[in-house]
Amino acid sequence: MLLVDKYIYPPKDNKSAYYLGIIFHVKLYRIIPFYNILCSMPFCVTCADAGKKTSASFNSAGTTPAKFCAAHKLDGMVNVINKLCAHVDENGQGCIQRPSFNIIGGKPMYCSLHKSEEMVNSLEKRCEGLCVNGSLCGKVRMFNFPGKKGGLFCSDHKEEGMVNVTNKMCEDCGAIVPSYGYPGKSKTHCAQHKKEGMVDLKHTKCAESKCMKSPSYGYVGKTATHCVEHKLDEMIDVKHSKCEYTSPNTGRCTRACSFNYIGETSSRFCSEHKLDLMVDVTRRKCGYDNCNRRPLYNTMIETKPLYCILHKLPDMIDVSNKKCLSEWCVNRAYKPSNEGYCNFCFLHLFPEKPQVRNYKTKEFSVVEYIKSRFSDVTWITDKRVQDGCSKRRPDLFLDMGSHIIIVEVDENQHIDYDCSCENKRLMEISQDVGHRNIVFIRFNPDQYFDKNNTKVPSCWTINKQGILEVNKNNSKRWNDRLKALASQVQYWIDNKSDKTIECIQLFYDEY
């Protein structure tokens, strides 16, 4: 034995005991039992034959000492060193898992598989706060004052000035657990404050070389290994729960489920097979009472969305989508093609980009034609309705006194637009004009299928410079479309509509 400054350490030939003794600095009257335990620790007999020393934990039930490690244990052997789960099945067989769960304040007795609903992980230190009913809080404690070690309270019971001292936080905001960092380094930043070149280091990546996407696809019964782009044959989505619908012809639906009845937390059906009155229960809901819309808005200093577009407060902004890269801008960048900028900044900062030069090209062409063709009347283009409450901006607006004429340029028939949103737009414009009769002329400048289901191509093409234009071969067809539009406009200038909303679709499918 070695005596140094009144501390005793085991001899160096037993390295594990020696270094543990140094770490714990066990005093004289405590070192003897501590050392004896370490020196008498059983080793796996199989590993010993191979010249290795691995601690043994397994043997036949009720038999000591332990003779095998987990890697070399025989069938039927159990852990005779550590305490096991107290669950016993109907055949009298005990669970061989180590216990971690019990009621709040109790010692570990059950594993995660056999714990009851009111049980918590007893190995984790719990919050010392009291709930409203006077019971002890069972949440994990993570908060304490800066500089202190170990948490005292959970987020609900933390005192003013306390911070999360358990988890490493983002280096920029100090409020969110980091997930991003440079490849090969540790996590340092959250998703919102990640730097250029940082990647997600927290979540598993696709097995394909250099792919940084999260995997969702794998073989049946296996874990996810590939993303949707690199999935192999016969791989399916094994990450998300599947729809419960089963077809007599094709079998069970393989789509991820998102829908269930209001009040339920688990999803059962996909959007195609959902039942009446079912809603999406997988996404966060708007904070307004009984609103099931997806929230997007909150105040500028918050990061989690609270309200949908219908119920947002006047000072709230979109916090769900990425903020525009312009430091002075508070708008959000929705389009991937805008390279991280909002639409306004991208159009004004990069006027030479092909997508900027093509911005609203078709709409401007139609507007210029109509304004020159009907120059004796006053057209209002791309502006909010005067004294209107909504922010809707019709492409072409003409007030005839007795009725309103609105021309909308619907590129590709606005197929990608939600029908309910389009109807809402019409109703809001109708409200803006005091519910006077409106004629909506919706003009499609792109391809469609006629009454014979024959494809009629768009008159617009992109040239070698990436610029959108009407080439010479299509100029006659384009002029014919404009004349048809002008004919409709002239008709409704000369005639009134007896409907609150009259909608005419030009060059839509089945036209």
Asked if residue 14 belongs to a domain, the reply is yes
Asked if residue 263 belongs to a domain, the reply is no
Contact 93, 83 (CB under 8 A): no
- How is 381-446 classified by DSSP, letter by letter? ES-PPTT-SS----SEEEE-SSSEEEEEE-GGGGTTS-HHHHHHHHHHHHHHTTT--EEEEEE--S
Contact 18, 10 (CB under 8 A): yes
- H/E stretch holding 318: strand 317-318
CATH code of the domain covering residue 480: 3.40.1350
Asked if residue 425 belongs to a domain, the reply is yes
Asked if residue 13 belongs to a domain, the reply is yes
For residue 33, give its domain range.
2-41
Asked if residue 400 belongs to a domain, the reply is yes
Q: Tokens 């005793």 label which residue?
A: 8
Asked if residue 16 belongs to a domain, the reply is yes
Asked if residue 162 belongs to a domain, the reply is no
Our count of domains for the chain comes to 2
Contact 205, 214 (CB under 8 A): yes
pLDDT string in tens for the chain (511-residue length): 444 433 444 444 544 444 444 444 444 444 444 444 445 568 888 888 888 888 888 888 777 788 888 888 888 787 787 788 888 888 877 787 888 888 877 888 888 888 887 788 877 777 767 665 666 676 777 788 887 877 888 877 888 888 888 778 888 877 788 888 888 888 899 888 888 888 888 888 888 888 888 898 888 878 889 998 899 988 888 888 888 898 888 888 888 888 998 878 788 999 889 998 888 888 888 888 888 788 988 988 787 889 998 899 988 888 888 888 898 887 888 788 888 898 889 988 988 888 788 888 899 999 999 999 999 999 999 899 888 888 888 999 999 999 999 999 998 888 766 666 778 888 989 999 999 999 999 999 999 998 888 999 998 988 887 888 888 888 899 999 999 999 999 999 999 888 999 999 999 988 8
**Which pair of tokens denotes residue 493?**
């200038």
Measured CA to CA, the distance from residue 325 to residue 498 in angstroms comes to: 49
The predicted pLDDT at position 176 comes to 81
Asked if residue 95 belongs to a domain, the reply is no
| Residues facing residue 246 across a β-bridge | 252
